[in-house]
Chains A and B, each alone.
Chain A
Amino acid sequence: MTANILLSPILIHMITAVICLLLWQKAGPQKLISILGSTVALLFSVMIFGLNWNWGSIVVFAGNWKPPYGITFVSDTLSTVMVLLTCLVGFAVSIFSTSAIGDSRIKYGYFSIYHFLLMGLCGTFLTGDIFNMYVWFEIVIISSFVLLTLGGKRMQMEAAVKYIAMNMLASVIFLTAIGILYGLTGSLNIADLGLKVKNIENQGLVQVTSLLFFIGFGIKSAVFPLYFWLPSSYHTPPSAIAAIFGGLLTKMGIYALLRVFTIIFQPDQFMLQFFSVIAITTMITGALGAINKKSIRRMFSYLIVCHIGYLIAGMGLYSTLAFSGIVFYLIHDIIIKSNLFMMTGIIYKIRASTDLRRLGGLYKDYPKLSLVMAVIMFSLAGIPPLSGFWPKIHLVTESVAQGKYLVLAAIIFASFITLILIAKVWAEVFWKELPKPNPEEVDKFKPLSVTEKISLVLPIVFLAAISLIIGLNAGSILEITDRIANEMMNPTLYIESVLGKKI
């Protein structure tokens, strides 16, 4: 009975969304409900993390149908960490949205769709059933479609066509893979699949299915040949929406990849080589794409692609140390990418432009805010002792140990380009003299009321403080990620906890 607490983040976000729907057209109350809902969800997700950490995985059987028959919800350390991060970022973006999103968008259901999106994310991370994961994916993408198009500007519409076409294609491929896997094994439960896939005679077909999963999740997480929809759509919605997309949606694909390729499929040498090649090309193309961009939001969109490469590189290395590194990177990246896009939102509010050539002098006008932004950007670049630094040590050590020097070179290249870009943004946006502003480029930040200013700045400071804590307190984060890596390398732990018997 107490295990049902596992479902609380999903339910809280759902209830919040429904209440927001009932308060249709009333912007003020919706803001309050949204902040309240995300706070409660955050508290519960911390509690679930604590329970899981101390007492081991929690398993809930929907309708008390024991696996492999019913839908199960499972928490292992990875999924509780992901839920915790979702609720954390959801909380910050919810506060940020109250004054970053205009009342017209809020009146037409911004907050309810936003909470449905968070509900879908929590569901994806907690489910233990592959088809149920597909359903949660669909909830997430349809919410993201609405958020992307809300407002109906021409630019948003153009971006939405690409985004929707690619995501629907990814869903069809994912569904195809599920169909074939069901035909091969007759099961949908992830833990049960983990047992049955090994015993299939036709391992060639299993390989093809695993590649279909990789393509489906690869489109969603924007890996090399399939990433082009991301940079051409993420800069169009308002910054609060871009923050939640950039932080969480691509990482959902990575989470699904990690789940599928540690528990269901055990990648062979060919697959590992394949992951490495994809990782290298993703890092290089992402970095090169970011270099020549003049709009900071476009630049950061390419950096998302570039940094997805690190995560795939860790999968290509496939060892405890590499997994520990990429989970750490995942934790760091979710927080930092959301924060980066919120930061861009504030810069846009102040200067009414995201074009590097039109920006400047921010350090002179807003010194304290600039320091917070410096922390964010330096952790993105991975300057020690900030949070982006520690996971890269693991990845570098492991790629040297396995002799994969091309992966090593790509990691260093991508980090180097990130550093250059951060230096460029810092020089152009914060140090350079402000060019003579156009008449429409007025500071919309200064005339805001104090509460509005706080609700814009507080989330950024909050998330920056968290990345600072992660960086300075890397030891305890490494303890968490080592445990996750250990669970990932020993999928029997997961399978046994779901099926409730020794195998």
Chain B
Amino acid sequence: MELLLVLLVGLLYSSGIYMMFRRSMVKLLLGLLLLGNGANILIFLMGDLAKGQPPIIDEAEKVFLGSYADPVPQSLILTAIVISFGLQSFAIILLKKVYANTGSDDLDSLNVQDKDI
């Protein structure tokens, strides 16, 4: 299971970075999306996977005896997902506006203002 997730994280990061190198704005956004998802799964993976062991203490016990699934990474991921949702929806609207303004999806067409020093 870990190995599978490790491969998935690697795949998401590499494809995300590859997409960011493309000239198309939409691909840039998709790249950022993939990177964000890769980071979330990485956090999940770093919290040591434990299958079917909810972090609930038995009534009879005072402390955890066995191993249990760490709830902290999951709450971190939840927070990160919410934040990236907000950022991504903003970015999508922005790209739509940029496309409406410039009529182009090419990142190189955005350097008009950089020519005048």
A residues in contact (CB < 8 Å) with B: 131, 134-135, 138, 141-142, 145-146, 149, 152, 154-155, 157-162, 164-165, 168-169, 171-172, 175-176, 178-180, 182-184, 186, 188, 232, 236, 292-295, 298
27 contacts between A and B (CB under 8 A): A131-B79, A138-B87, A149-B97, A157-B101, A158-B102, A158-B111, A160-B98, A161-B98, A164-B87, A164-B94, A165-B32, A168-B87, A169-B20, A169-B32, A171-B87, A172-B35, A172-B36, A172-B38, A175-B39, A175-B43, A178-B43, A179-B39, A182-B46, A182-B47, A182-B72, A186-B70, A295-B116
Q: Chain A residues with Cβ under 8 A from B86's Cβ?
A: 142
Q: Chain B residues with Cβ under 8 A from A160's Cβ?
A: 94, 98
In the bound complex, what is the Cα–Cα distance between A43 and B72 (angstroms)?
A: 37
In the bound complex, what is the Cα–Cα distance between A162 and B107 (angstroms)?
A: 9
The main secondary structure of chain B at its interface with chain A is: helix
Tell me the chain B residues, 36-88 only, with Cβ under 8 Å from chain A: 36, 38-39, 42-43, 45-48, 70, 72-73, 76, 79-80, 83, 86-87
Task: Identify the interface centre among A145, A175, A178: most chain B CB within 10 Å of its CB.
Answer: A175
Q: Chain A residues with Cβ under 8 A from B32's Cβ?
A: 165, 168-169, 172
In the bound complex, what is the Cα–Cα distance between A160 and B76 (angstroms)?
A: 28
Partner of A142, one of B90, B102, B114: B90
A182 touches B73 (CB 8 A): yes
In the bound complex, what is the Cα–Cα distance between A227 and B75 (angstroms)?
A: 33
Task: Identify the interface centre among A183, A184, A294: most chain B CB within 10 Å of its CB.
Answer: A183
Task: Identify the interface centre among A131, A146, A184: most chain B CB within 10 Å of its CB.
Answer: A131
Closest Cβ of chain B to A148, distance in Å, is: 10
| Residue B1 is within 8 A (CB to CB) of chain A in the complex | no
In the bound complex, what is the Cα–Cα distance between A298 and B115 (angstroms)?
A: 12
In the bound complex, what is the Cα–Cα distance between A138 and B84 (angstroms)?
A: 9
Q: Chain A residues with Cβ under 8 A from B101's Cβ?
A: 152, 154, 157
Closest Cβ of chain B to A424, distance in Å, is: 14
Known: A145-B90, A172-B36. A180 touches B113 (CB 8 A): no
Q: Chain B residues with Cβ under 8 A from A171's Cβ?
A: 87
A294 touches B117 (CB 8 A): yes
B39 touches A182 (CB 8 A): no
Q: A135-B79, A145-B90, A179-B76 are in contact. List 16 more A-B contacts (CB 8 A).
A: A135-B83, A142-B87, A146-B90, A152-B97, A158-B111, A158-B113, A159-B113, A161-B110, A168-B32, A168-B91, A169-B20, A169-B32, A172-B38, A175-B39, A175-B80, A180-B46
Q: Chain A residues with Cβ under 8 A from B6's Cβ?
A: none
In the bound complex, what is the Cα–Cα distance between A203 and B68 (angstroms)?
A: 27
Closest Cβ of chain A to B73, distance in Å, is: 7
Partner of A154, one of B25, B73, B80, B102: B102
| Residue B112 is within 8 A (CB to CB) of chain A in the complex | yes
B28 touches A165 (CB 8 A): yes
B110 touches A158 (CB 8 A): yes
B94 touches A161 (CB 8 A): yes
Closest Cβ of chain B to A189, distance in Å, is: 11
A131 touches B35 (CB 8 A): no
In the bound complex, what is the Cα–Cα distance between A236 and B98 (angstroms)?
A: 15
Closest Cβ of chain A to B10, distance in Å, is: 12
Known: A142-B90, A175-B80, A182-B76. A158 touches B98 (CB 8 A): yes
In the bound complex, what is the Cα–Cα distance between A162 and B38 (angstroms)?
A: 22
Closest Cβ of chain B to A289, distance in Å, is: 10
B20 touches A293 (CB 8 A): no
B20 touches A165 (CB 8 A): yes
In the bound complex, what is the Cα–Cα distance between A178 and B83 (angstroms)?
A: 15
In the bound complex, what is the Cα–Cα distance between A175 and B83 (angstroms)?
A: 12
A161 touches B95 (CB 8 A): yes
* 3 nearest A-B pairs in the assembled complex, by CB-CB distance: A183-B46, A179-B43, A158-B110
A176 touches B73 (CB 8 A): no
In the bound complex, what is the Cα–Cα distance between A161 and B79 (angstroms)?
A: 24
In the bound complex, what is the Cα–Cα distance between A149 and B46 (angstroms)?
A: 37
Closest Cβ of chain A to B46, distance in Å, is: 3
Closest Cβ of chain B to A59, distance in Å, is: 21
The chain B residue sitting closest to A231, CB to CB, is B114
Q: Chain A residues with Cβ under 8 A from B102's Cβ?
A: 154, 157-158
